[in-house]
Amino acid sequence: MSANHQNLSQGFIEFCIQQEVLKFGEFKTKAGRLSPYFFNAGLFNDGDSLLKLGEFYANSIEKSGIEFDMLFGPAYKGIPLAASIAIAFAKRGRNLPYAYNRKEEKDHGEGGNLVGAPLKGSVLIIDDVISAGTSVRESVALINANGATTCGVSIALDRQEKGLGELSAVQEVEQKNKIPVVSIAKLADLLMLIESSEQLAKHSLEIKHYQQRYCI
């Protein structure tokens, strides 16, 4: 890992802890596992935190080298994420179109289940985390149906948890869809920060046990 990437990931985790987006304790995940930490991107819920979040995503995307023409944010959490990233890139002089979907198709007005810019060219999907990969699968199908191409997925945190087999959920998405998934930070980065902090070191053992049991 380069020093620049490490600085980005560590800075992001510190930001998440400050915003209480990342919490420690005992939490039940969607998969029914008891996790010693919880990441809730819905708590980036004001202008300042969204502004900073968009910058973290934009930095991660730029470092990945993925070439793309527009952003797509799956409903619901992906919507403000994609908007914040589009703003971050606009501040850097790149005016990116973005779009998102509705959960329920609209039967009046403009109709349909897509909002925003038309899907075309190479589309980068934006999400917070990947659990079962359902959101990505549905997004890829929607993008393809509109004649565009999915070039990758950008997420905030890669929990590095196993999916259906020995691969992680993120690796399964990469393999099934033949696209890269880039993250601002991974569980390994979280552990590195915790172990170097006197205040947070008490959480290290529980997270390591969880990592050994459920993660790659």
Which of the residues 108, 176, 186, 202 is marked catalytic?
Answer: 108
User: In CATH, what number is assigned to the domain containing residue 171?
Assistant: 3.40.50.2020
84 close to 49: Cβ distance less than 8 angstroms:
no
For 155, which DSSP code?
A: E
Q: Which of 187, 172, 205 is nearest to 12 (CA)?
A: 187
**203 is known as an active-site residue:** no
Kindly name the residue from 5, 52, 91, 106 that is annotated as catalytic. 106
In whole angstroms, give the CA distance from residue 210 to residue 216.
11
Of residues 189 and 133, the one with the higher pLDDT is 189
For 71-97, the pLDDT digits (tens) are 999 999 999 999 999 999 999 999 999
Distance from C-alpha of 178 to C-alpha of 48, rounded to nearest angstrom: 35
- Residue 108, pLDDT score: 46
Q: How confident is the model at residue 194 (pLDDT cuts 50, 70, 90)?
A: very high
Q: Look up tokens 């959960």; give the residue.
A: 103
Q: Whole-angstrom Cα distance, residue 22 to residue 39?
A: 5
208 catalytic, yes or no? no
Question: Cα separation of 174 and 197, whole Å?
Answer: 33
State how many domains the chain has.
1
> Are the beta carbons of 162 and 207 closer than 8 angstroms?
no
pLDDT at residue 134 in the model:
87
CB atoms within 10 A of CB 106: 12
Predicted confidence band of residue 1 (pLDDT cuts 50, 70, 90): low
C-alpha to C-alpha distance for 152 and 156, rounded to whole angstroms? 14
* CB contact at 8 A, 37 and 16: no
pLDDT recorded at residue 144: 96
| Res 32: pLDDT | 83
Please state, in angstroms and rounded to a whole number, the distance separating the CA atoms of residues 167 and 79.
28
pLDDT tens digits for range 151-179: 999 999 999 999 888 899 999 999 999 99
- Taking only the tens place, the pLDDT of each residue in 132-146 is 788 999 999 999 999
Whole-number mean pLDDT of the chain? 92
Task: Give the total residue count for the chain.
Answer: 216
C-beta separation of 108 from 21 below 8 A: no
In terms of residue numbers, what domain contains 13? 3-214
Asked if residue 110 has pLDDT above 70, the reply is: no
CA angle 129, 6, 86 (to 5 degrees): 50
DSSP classification of residue 201: G
SS3 assignment, position 179: coil
